[in-house]
Structure 1
């Protein structure tokens, strides 16, 4: 038997990391997750947020009503017109942990960034970082590389107004193949405007400004032609709420704390859900089912609290049980406000009250219509789940708050045994699940939610995702459609997107749905192999390898070996998010793509059709 070799444990084994080394070694502790920018909460957007949050805090404290932001492919510039960092502390404020103005609660009473690490994390995770402060006619700047001070100026005179300018370029070795998606940035900028009425944000030359706060947010996020009554907008001290009901399935919430978008909700969002049901029941003096009251709701809530407690460094879920150290509970604070203000509003606006009552009764009818088949379908799903051959599950899940890998969880929706087999063999069993489709799913356009329970495959899918009663129990952070890039594969993509948009639109709106990009070509010689996702990438690979390399075109996922697949679904995974733009009407989109063959759609198909002959000619 081989002798066990023991590692020595001496003083030399103990290592102390400086601030930048620790951030770079454990970035997840500071910015949540890394990513390449394909998801709305990927690290590069958190970096932008950490810098802009400081400018917002200045505005909230009454200093500077304009922020200028410029973002190109790899560089971010943020200039505010607040007080400016004290010139003697410019270097310390961006490079010394636990250094900042926010520890003085009198200066920043209801700020988001209270831990003094946000700007330092951006500095440590950037290959270029420059900070410049302007204060009372004087300025000072400092430049850094990965947190290391490279150069700093003396204090010099300036003609520029007070404030701070920060320029940074995220480190491509940390955020591999990153890219900023304009839609995500635009949403982020709009949220700043909505939550800080009166503030002007100039983003790449375009002005973002809101007069009516959350009312403007819902107007932008919702198709106003399909709402059942005008948006109810309620404002109070440290709380603002906007709400309406539409015709979609599910519930949709936008919740914020001290200007921070809490994408995973928290105590304030749960308090709103409870308060709405309680107030509505008392107003109508009827014990409506809670699900009927909240069905098809679209609501936004913003609260400002002292010393908020979040469940993670990225502050996506509020954990505070109270509004402040000595304040009421969050539940009581929200409930008291909703009970008074919403009740008053409904009494003063009888037309809105009647429209709300009709929407609740409609939800009640729809729920009762499918209750019988729902019960049978769920019983079948429970039996199937015991030996569900469609689902190859993973060990970690998104709805498990204790899971360290919750943010990395994903499920691949595949078609065909060969593709499912390749992904299943190549996947990470800790965080990647696979759900295998039996062929082309049913076209659910214009069908009712009854079909979700009548169709065994859809029923099993909703149970695999755990989204029957909303997104709170969603088991995977990313739901990834993984189909071939041919005509049949594209059709399956459309059918699955139709299913989600029709019955679970909030899954798409909250940024959980993606398309897996797989390489179209493999270009290799005896020394190197390149996988190419476009004709342009193929031409570059051929040029870089020289000579006459071997070129293989992948026509289906099943043709890619599990060994190769491992590279495409792990660290170097390429995902295309399914994004709904602000002016997108789900009904109009589905009617165009999935409705009857209208002349307009036929023209679109003819104009965009690419047949195999064209592809072959391109390759030649």
Structure 2
């Protein structure tokens, strides 16, 4: 039989892309997620970051103390007052991959952008891109469209040295994307903390720090209405800076980590080395045998290093991978902290007292755990709220992929799922009512509250995720105010005590239709008011529109498709503890008057026709 021409694999099928084509075709490889600007790691902010990183590198090398950033709509401009790109290489530096001075230690010793991609990716992914360099009374400029050169010019200038870049993300790639000022401001605050004295101006605001990471730690405490137990310890030299304190109103640890000004949200070698050095210093000073969790519980801090050749585990630089720096970094942290403890006996005593208090609480928690297990065994071996499935997840053995558990409220909603679920892979955990708000509570509540404890047992995540029984944990709540509240309470529960579950991408929200629009011939399920309006126009004025208020109102026959192959799931995105804590503290904490004022100020009241 002759081979199908469409499937012929020969020399004609091999294609070589230019660097420009590759960046535009495989955008995610260069900037990570594209997004729409609603998340701080979305692509539009990565483009801005790549340009600002170059200005920061200039400042680190001692050139230019001010950076001007403007964002108007989707058009961005950045002006620094550094040395300026060498005039004869302006076009190459913003358009040719693997071109730049950051391969030369004499010019840039501590740079983030070591791969020669940053500004080139911005250029390739921009609708319009303009660069102008000023050096010694002369300038060179060039304009591009979607990465292709459109014009260039050179001449004399009276402007001070430096580089000006203006760009607008290409809407054909960044569909419906927009910049949000709060995300830009947060990034600029980080830059200011890491580069003491640098002035960053953004749309009329100025960001400047005098005390580096100390300012960052104090701001984080203020945002959470927390008070430090002792004045933060702050150390800084040319390549290492760290700052930390303990707070009585926090759970777990909250750490920011940076490499050459890059926020490493997933930590890496520098953060783990700092933790090890801290533990060694505390144990050596106290002559104790504390565990890391004892030392870091309720700790708020930040660590930043400058490194000549940083190796990141991805293009977006969220985690540092250099292992060769670990030993030296551990020893430096240990030695500096021991010096501090010996010079500041009063502060050292407060730290040791806090660590000992945490160890005692951990021992008490062990007793609570033992009682909870004994109580659970005395009642029944089975968990009454769990309707289990036959197949369970085992990551290590590669089994049970596709298994899931629905967390739902009440027997009515559970009944619809039970009637049409796949008993092999779909389990149901039935909540008795609104879960407890655990944000301001300690971990012992998980053992004292039956529902929280049974949920943890059902998932088998008490100590870690190794025993996780379901690949997907799905929040299946009604699409009304109460249902959304229950969803938020459950998300709070997981972020508070089991954030690794969220970080590893196991937590989801089930999207169910809000409306059913139908006539005699056709039925359309709609997930928004806009979809409802479109469907009603398509089916005509005589169509019937039903609003589903709860999962229990959807018949099992209908519900089957919503948890079957066409199931719509939204993954709950992980945020590093410093980011998540501030958000959850505001919306789920005990600051009721402040939250009420915020709601009243931002409440949108629909205007009736």
Q: TM range, normalised to the smaller chain? A: 0.7 to 0.9
Aligned pairs for 1:277-426 (under 5 A) are 277-322=279-324, 330-374=325-369, 415=409, 416-417=413-414
Other-structure match for 1:325: none
Structure 1 Cα separation of the partners of residues 603 and 74 of structure 2: 34
Contact 2:264 2:318 in 1 (8 A): yes
Aligned equivalent of 1:489: 483
Shift of the 452–80 alpha-carbon distance from structure 1 to 2, 3 Å rule, reads same
Change (3 A) 1:206 1:389: farther
Aligned to 1:159: 158
Distance 1:569 1:5, change over 3 A: same
- C-alpha distance in 1, partners of 2:262/2:159? 30
Q: Following TM superposition, by how much is the alpha carbon of 1:444 offset from its aligned partner in structure 2, in angstroms? A: 3.3
Q: In 1, distance between residues paired with 2:254 and 2:468?
A: 14
Per-residue CA deviations over 1:71-102 (Å, capped at 9, x if unaligned) read: 34423222211122222222221211111111
Structure 1 residue 524: Cα displacement: 10
Equivalent position of 1:206 in the other structure: 205
1:5-404 matched pairs, under 5 angstroms: 5=4, 7-149=7-149, 151-223=150-222, 225-247=226-248, 248-322=250-324, 330-374=325-369
Alignment correspondent of 2:401: none
Choose 342-351 or 202-211, whichever is displaced more: 342-351
Q: Distance in 2 between matches of 1:375 and 1:141?
A: 71
Counterpart secondary structure, 1:368: helix
Segment drifting more, 510-519 vs 178-187: 510-519
Give the TM-score normalised by structure 1. 0.77
Q: Residues 590 and 517 (structure 1 numbering): CA distance in 2 closer, same or farther, change over 3 Å?
A: farther
> Residue 340 of structure 2 aligns to a residue in which SS?
helix
Q: Distance in 2 between matches of 1:257 and 1:193?
A: 14
Change (3 A) 1:606 1:27: closer
User: Within 5 Å, which residues of 2 pair with 1:591-606?
Assistant: 591-593=590-592
Distance change >3 Å, CA 590–CA 139, structure 1 → 2 = same
Contact 1:509 1:580 in 2 (8 A): no
Question: Deviation per CA, 1:467-502, whole angstroms, max 9, x where unpaired?
Answer: 866999999999986643423113314533553576
- How far apart are residue 114 of structure 1 and its match? 0.8
Q: Is the 8 A contact 2:586 2:595 kept in 1?
A: no
* Cα distance change, pair 303–48 in 1 and its aligned pair in 2 (3 A): same
Cα contact 1:516–1:575 (8 A) shared by 2:
no
Secondary structure of 2:590 counterpart: helix
Confirm or deny: 8 A CA contact 2:405 2:429 kept in the other structure.
Answer: no
Whole-angstrom CA distance in 1 between matches of 2:164 and 2:510:
38
- The alpha-carbon deviation at position 306 of structure 1 amounts to 1.8
| Residues 36, 175 of structure 2: 8 Å contact kept | yes
1:59 Cα deviation after fit: 1.0
Cα distance in 2, alignment partners of residues 524 and 171 from structure 1:
39
Cα 1:229–1:577 shift into 2, 3 Å:
closer
Superimposed CA distance per residue, residues 348-381 of structure 1 (whole angstroms, 9 cap, x where no aligned partner): 2222112112211221121111113436768989
- Output one character per residue of 1:480-534: Cα deviation in whole Å (capped at 9) or x when no partner: 8664342311331453355357657999999999988888678999999996857
Which range moves more in the overlay, 235-244 or 517-526?
Answer: 517-526
Rounded Cα–Cα distance in structure 2 between residues aligned with 1:227 and 1:285: 25
Q: Distance in 2 between matches of 1:473 and 1:183?
A: 39
What's the CA shift string for 1:299-319, capped at 9, x where partnerless? Answer: 211111121111111111111
C-alpha distance in 1 between matches for 2:41 and 2:471: 11
Rounded Cα–Cα distance in structure 2 between residues aligned with 1:538 and 1:334: 56
Distance 1:588 1:375, change over 3 A: same
Q: Cα–Cα, structure 1 residues 513 and 5, in superposed 2: closer, same or farther, change >3 Å?
A: closer
In the TM superposition, what is the alpha-carbon distance from 1:126 to its structure 2 partner?
Answer: 2.2
The Cα shift of 1:136 comes to: 2.5
TM-score between both structures, scaled by the size of structure 2: 0.78
SS of 1:308's partner is: coil
Deviation at 1:27, TM superposition (A): 2.0
Distance of aligned partners of 1:45 and 1:276 in 2 relative to their CA distance in 1, 3 Å threshold: same
For the 8 Å contact 2:226–2:247, the answer to whether it is kept is no
Q: Please, what is the CA RMSD of the aligned residues?
A: 5.0
Shift of 1:392: 11
- Structure 2 CA distance for partners of 1:577 and 1:290, relative to 1, 3 Å: closer
Shift of residue 200 of structure 1? 0.8
Q: CA deviation at 1:198?
A: 0.9
Contact 2:492 2:584 (8 Å CA) reproduced: no
How much does 1:206 deviate?
Answer: 0.7
Asked if the contact 2:417/2:560 (under 8 Å) is kept, the reply is no
For the residue of structure 1 that corresponds to 2:300, the secondary structure is strand
Find the residue that maps to 1:140 and give its secondary structure.
Answer: strand
**Partner SS for 2:301:** strand
What residue is the counterpart of 2:452 in the other structure? Answer: 458
Aligned residue number for residue 435 of structure 2: 441
Alpha-carbon contact 1:516-1:576 (below 8 Å) kept: no
My pick for the range that moved more, 277-286 or 129-138, is: 129-138
**Structure of higher CA gyration radius:** 2
The alignment partner of 1:64 has SS state of: coil
- 1:441 deviates by 1.5
TM-aligned CA deviation for residue 343 of structure 1: 1.2
**Greater CA drift, 207-216 or 351-360:** 351-360
Give secondary structure in 1 for the equivalent of 2:166.
strand
